[in-house]
Amino acid sequence: MTTVTADLAMSLDGFVAGTDIGPDHPGGKGADALFQWIHNLASWRERQGMTGGEDNVDSEIMREWFDSTGAVVMGRTMYDTGEVPWGDEPPFRAPVFVLTHRPRRTLVKQGGTTFTFVTDGIHSALEQAKAASGGRNVDIAGGARTVQQYLRAGLIDELQLHVVPVLFGAGLRLLDNLGAEQRRLEVIRVVDTPLATHLKYRVHK
Ligand SMILES: NC(=O)c1ccc[n+]([C@@H]2O[C@H](COP(=O)([O-])OP(=O)(O)OC[C@H]3O[C@@H](n4cnc5c(N)ncnc54)[C@H](OP(=O)(O)O)[C@@H]3O)[C@@H](O)[C@H]2O)c1
């Protein structure tokens, strides 16, 4: 059975993006702080076609995502804000299904990434991603509104949060809009490094 994951970097006060998300600030203002732990990792650099970088536990955690993910689902805002920075060879190297209300032709990029635009909802996007994943995980990559819908529908098996020691004060919260129902999670791994605390949970159904 395919494991459905969600894996996001989050500020200590719960934000996955800053304010004023747009072309000038893809992750909102101040979002660089959420991703600084990634930029010099050997696994991340390798995925970008570069050499060098730190080969540490943060790098192993990033490599695990690359190795285990066979397809990705994301929201149209994440796609729009990532389109330019990801360039011609996006780092996914896998089929990506973009939730949107705006039909668009599938884009085939270099390095194995395709972007298929799905207009008939979260279940359809997930089924298409599972079918394309080659038996590996499907990752619900973001943004917040997309992950929230899958969490609310009970469709995420594992949630990994890379909690970065920064307080945003404002921005886009991940764990909002989940309804009043109590949800239980089981901690399956905690890895603490100076750059981030990596918390991995199994989400009980
Ligand atoms: N910290 C992290 O690790 C991380 C990870 C990923 C993303 N992010 C950040 O998150 C931000 C984007 O998050 P977001 O919550 O604003 O937006 P989002 O979830 O990326 O996208 C929302 C959009 O997706 C489409 N959509 C969502 N659900 C749909 C459905 N059921 N049916 C049809 N279309 C649907 C809609 O687009 P249409 O208007 O086209 O219908 C909606 O406006 C960005 O700043 C990104 O950088 C952070």
DSSP state of 170: S
> How many C-alpha atoms does 84 have within 13 Å on its Cβ side?
7
Looking at the chain, the whole-number percentage of residues with pLDDT higher than 70 is 100
pLDDT at 78 over 90: yes
Q: For the segment 113-150, what is each residue's pLDDT rounded down to a tens digit?
A: 999 999 999 999 999 999 999 999 999 999 999 999 99
Pocket flag, ligand 1, residue 21 (CB < 6 Å)? yes
The dihedral through the CA atoms of 181, 17, 8, 75 has a sign that is positive
pLDDT score of 132: 98
Asked whether residue 16 is domain-assigned, the answer is no
pLDDT score of 23: 86
Pocket flag, ligand 1, residue 30 (CB < 6 Å)? no
Asked whether residue 67 is domain-assigned, the answer is yes
Output the six-digit token pair for 38.
């990634």
pLDDT score of 205: 85
Looking at the chain, the whole-number percentage of residues with pLDDT higher than 90 is 95
Residue 158: which of 203, 205, 204, 123 has the closest Cα?
A: 203
Asked whether residue 20 is domain-assigned, the answer is no
Pocket flag, ligand 1, residue 38 (CB < 6 Å)? no
Mean pLDDT within 20-33: 93
Asked whether residue 13 is domain-assigned, the answer is no
Protein residue whose Cα sits closest to atom 37 of ligand 1: 100
pTM: 0.97
Pocket flag, ligand 1, residue 11 (CB < 6 Å)? no
Residue 6: which of 203, 166, 191, 188 has the closest Cα?
A: 203
CATH number, domain of 87, equals: 3.40.430.10
Pocket flag, ligand 1, residue 18 (CB < 6 Å)? no
pLDDT score of 191: 98
Residue 71's DSSP bridge partners are 138
Distance 99 CA to ligand 1 centre (A): 8
Note whether 19 and 170 are within 8 A (CB).
yes
Residue 173: which of 12, 24, 4 has the closest Cα?
A: 12
Mean pLDDT within 4-17: 98
Q: What is the number of domains present in the chain?
A: 1
What is the domain extent for residue 180? Answer: 4-8+27-203
Query: 196 pLDDT band (50/70/90 cuts)?
Result: very high
| H-run or E-run covering 163 | strand 158-164
Asked whether residue 175 is domain-assigned, the answer is yes
Mean pLDDT within 89-117: 97
